[in-house]
Amino acid sequence: MSVPVIVRVIPNKPKKGDVAKLMFLVKHPMDPGTIKDPKTGKLIPANYITTIDISLNGKKIATIYNGPGVSSNPIFGLDFKAEEAGTVKMVFTDNHGKSFEHDFNLELS
């Protein structure tokens, strides 16, 4: 499954050891399973992200836990210490056990 993710690091190239902010938008419906389809009147099945695991060069930075109450196309943010440049990997898992990944390169100034 491919889901678009838009990522921003603030500042764009943090200095080594500085605290940076990672913000990202995930294009996902985040359906809670309690909303009716206006055309059919039937409930739209639940489909939402339950966890987001974030790592830098294989070292875990954070895990974000979600529930069905998060809005569609959610924006997430967290602060982290920019210890090294490298690949940030985000693994998203949904309530059906399916997962998708998004990677990006973190550069330091």
Q: What is the CATH number of the domain that holds 93?
A: 2.60.40.10
| Cα–Cα distance, 14 to 45 (Å, whole number) | 41
Query: What range does the domain containing 41 cover?
Result: 5-106
Q: Which residues pair with 76 in a beta bridge?
A: 24
The model carries a pTM of: 0.92
Q: Which residues pair with 26 in a beta bridge?
A: 5
Predicted pLDDT of residue 1 = 65
In percent, how much of the chain has pLDDT > 70? 99
Phi, psi of 70 (to 5 degrees): -85, 135
* 109 residues of the chain, pLDDT tens digit each: 678 999 999 999 999 999 999 999 999 999 999 999 999 999 999 999 999 999 999 999 999 999 999 999 999 999 999 999 999 999 999 999 999 999 999 999 9
User: For the segment 51-74, what is each residue's pLDDT rounded down to a tens digit?
Assistant: 999 999 999 999 999 999 999 999
| Cα–Cα distance, 60 to 3 (Å, whole number) | 22
- Angle in degrees, CA 57, 29, 32, rounded to 5: 105
| Cα–Cα distance, 80 to 50 (Å, whole number) | 21
Look at the chain and report how many structural domains it folds into.
1
